[in-house]
Amino acid sequence: MKSLFGDNRQADILSLMRGGTSLSIDLLAQKLSVSDRTIRNDIKTINETLGDSGIIETDLGICSLRIFDVDSFQTAYSHIIATDDLMNSPSRRMDYIFGKLMFSFSPVLTDDLAYEMNVGRTTLIKDLKKLRKTIEPYNLSIIGKTSQGLILQGSEINIRRYVIENCYDALFNDYPIDLEILDTIQSNFTRHPFSDRVQQQFKKYFILMMDRFLKGHFIGHLPTYYYALAARDGFGFVNTVVDQVGHLLQVDFPIEEKIYMLMPIIGMRTPTNAEELYNIKLDDKITPLTEEITKAINDQLDIQIDTYEFTEEFMYHLMFMINRLRYGIKVENPLIEEIQKKYPIAFEMATIAANVVSKKFDVKIPQSEIGFLATYFGVFIEVNNLHHRNEHMALVCGSGIVTSRLIMVQLQHVVDSDTRVDTFMPNEITPDKLNAYDVVLSTVPIDFDLNRPVIYIREIFDEDELRSRLKKAEYWQPSNTSMDDNWYVLANLLKEENFFDLSDYDTYTSACDFMMDCLIDEGSVDAGFKERMHDREKKGTMIFGHLLALPHTIQTISNELVIAFGIFSHPVDDVQIIILLGLPKNVEENDKLLIRIYDEIMTIVKDDDLIKKITQCKTQPELLRVLYKRI
């Protein structure tokens, strides 16, 4: 895209967004020939400049501009247009400083830097302070005094890693690479089906490697375990490409530079192309690792996942993730907050998986990688939900055939096309008839008990509300009454006798024992429940944090989920709320309900205001009022 404002990319972004159209970050990056990360950084800077006048909102990678104050927005917009792009933010100045230091063989004087950048000495010193903090996690440092000159210190591989992850676009975006070299690289890619993402990343690594090597910044000797990569899949491809380009340049690139060029291949994201995926051999350690992960999730959350439910794509993802972590390859996850918010239990499952991988391979798993793992568990949860849909419904209507037809027309907007709905008059229904359906809708009271969820509706109803209540019906248990309009399923499962005021107890253990004794006495759980809970606690604490504990184990009395709430008047052993779960023995048949309950608990944990309100409850009715969120 030809820039409307020269090198002022932020002005270009605002110009594109002012048309009122929502645009993806991918499309903006493509139009402006930069990376997604650069676009996100630009949007952050734009929003800082706009202040209260407007904002570019980003949701699941889609951007839209909202203007709150037209006059103030126009003033901010004019300022952005008039700003010189190169030095208009600390991040761009830091990129310039880093580039200057990494290309220099001798100390760089701060006065010379300030002159080149056209900034004051005080501004430069502040930028240097920020830059030092930014490069510290990469084991890089800037040594020397401002009056005597500065030197960038650190290994070459860490310098390159910092560039790839932070400032490649700023330093190398317009790199004048020879077309014959590009053609050589591309011709090799035509014979190897790597994804576009891998190809783009490979070219970045190649340009950086070539520039640094030809200018005398050699990568040098690598840690011993790197050299084993020469035997890995993909090294033959790298060796061929590097040797061919070396022939064009009349340069022999050493083995270390070739190993470096393997990084974007071994650390790639899981390919979406099946041919590309299955051309890569799966590490023998991954299948048993997957089994360890499923066992850990079962042990800690009592959610049953059979290994076969994980696709090979998940196992390949594990392999590539471990490679990335071993060799310091960072992958951005722009959807991390959205994933954590939408799939809290999937994120918890991913955290458990990450702990297994971390212990087994002695690597630290960042939040971005946990987010990617969570997407796979999110798919598992969604697929599990699809298997439990309400596919057969009964409609009881007491107002005649015309009214029942009106309801059926409305239902077509709510239920799937393959959902079967049978209609009955009140004098036609019996318990046996209605118990044969997944869910019962009725406009009139039903005088007998059913072991199916009943949803009472009006002849003309709110479609969104019914859609949500049908979703909630998927988590119904036989002991429930008819379905209400409360979003919290766990509120439906909490009996009044299973609420406990723990003000008289001074330890978490004694309070749990009291709750379990009461549940055993009332017949909600079996006599061995308490012993199993103690054995479970020995395997690891069930204190979640945020003042909440979630003790849980199997109960053999019934095939229903038993929930009990206990609340201390003040924190005891870092706990003020105990949510105790008695899980049915055939827990795999209740996975969907259990996942929903965990999701609701995760929602509670993240809401400090809700936690505070819950801790003030003294009775079950008070708690139910707090745990009410209209569908």
107-119: per-residue pLDDT in tens?
998 888 888 877 7
State pTM to two decimals: 0.62
CA–CA separation, 328 and 336 (whole Å): 20
Backbone torsions φ then ψ of 500, nearest 5 degrees: -130, 125
Is it the case that residue 480 has pLDDT exceeding 60? no
Indicate if 617 and 531 belong to the same structural domain: yes
In contact, 238 and 263? CB cutoff 8 Å: no
With a cut of 60, say whether residue 385 has pLDDT above it: no
Q: What is the percent of the chain with per-residue pLDDT over 70, rounded to a whole number?
A: 89
So what's the pLDDT on residue 444? 87
Altogether, the residues listed in the chain come to a count of 631
Same structural domain for residues 367 and 398?
A: no
- pLDDT for the residue 253: 95
Mean pLDDT of 483-505: 82
Residues 6+ apart with CB under 8 A from 624: 486, 491, 494
Residue 149 has pLDDT above 50, yes or no: yes
| 544 lies in the same domain as 615 | yes
Output 263 or 484, whichever has higher pLDDT: 263
Q: Which token pair is 283? A: 């590490």
Residues 226 and 291 in one domain: no
Q: What is the pLDDT, as a whole number, of residue 162?
A: 95
Residue 196 pLDDT greater than 50, yes or no: yes
Q: Indicate whether 540 and 457 sit together in one domain.
A: no
pLDDT band, very low/low/confident/very high, at 391 (cuts 50, 70, 90)? confident
Domain shared by 572 and 524, yes or no: yes
213 is in which domain, residue-wise?
A: 179-266
Tell me, what's the pLDDT at 5? Answer: 43
Task: Please give the pLDDT value at position 3.
Answer: 44
- Does residue 516 or residue 39 have the better pLDDT? 516
The pLDDT of residue 146 is above 70? no
Q: How far apart are CA 107 and CA 235, in angstroms?
A: 37
pLDDT for the residue numbered 307: 54
* Domain termination site, one of 430, 465, 485: 485
Q: Is residue 145 over pLDDT 80? A: no
Question: Which three-class secondary structure state does DSSP give residue 208?
Answer: helix
Q: Is the pLDDT of residue 511 over 90?
A: yes
pLDDT band at residue 387 under the 50/70/90 scheme: very low
In angstroms, the first-to-last Cα distance of the chain is: 46
What percent of the chain shows pLDDT beyond 90? 32
CA dihedral 418, 380, 551, 590 (to 10 degrees): 30
Q: What is the residue-averaged pLDDT of the chain?
A: 84
Judgement on whether residues 129 and 199 belong to the same structural domain of the protein: no
Identify the sign of the CA torsion 291, 297, 299, 302.
negative
| Three-state DSSP state, 104 | coil
pLDDT winner (highest mean) among 11-20, 160-169, 445-454: 160-169
372 shares a domain with 406: no
Q: Identify which has the larger pLDDT, 595 or 372.
A: 372
Residue 496 and residue 589 in one domain: yes
Last residue of a domain, one of 235, 266, 297: 266
Note the pLDDT of residue 499: 95
- pLDDT value of position 594: 78
CA pair distance 552, 312, nearest whole angstrom: 32
pLDDT(627) > 90? no
Q: pLDDT for 512-530, tens place per residue?
A: 999 999 999 999 999 999 9
Last residue of a domain, one of 266, 300, 333: 266
Query: Most confidently modeled of 372-381, 408-417, 562-571?
Result: 562-571
Q: Which residues pair with 575 in a beta bridge?
A: 572
CB 131 within 8 A of CB 97: yes
What pLDDT is stored for residue 102 in this prediction?
A: 93
Kindly report the number of other CB atoms within 10 A of residue 304's CB atom.
16
- What is the spatial distance between Cα 488 and Cα 511, in angstroms, rounded to a whole number? 25
pLDDT digits (tens, 9 = 90+) for 205-259: 999 999 999 999 999 999 998 998 898 878 999 999 999 999 999 999 999 999 9
Shared domain check, 562 and 507 = yes
Give yes or no: residues 506 and 618 share one domain.
yes
Which one is predicted more confidently, 419 or 593? 419
CATH code where residue 479 lies: 3.40.50
Does 306 share its domain with 425? no
pLDDT of residue 23: 85
Q: What is the CATH number of the domain that holds 313?
A: 1.10.1790.10
Structural domain count, the chain:
6
What is the pLDDT averaged over residues 544-568? 88
Phi/psi of residue 578, each to 5°?
-115, 120
pLDDT at 68: 85
pLDDT over threshold 50, residue 4: no
CA separation for the pair 358, 296 (Å, rounded): 13
Give domain status of residue 278, yes or no: no
Question: Looking at residue 140, which CATH number applies to its domain?
Answer: 1.10.10.10
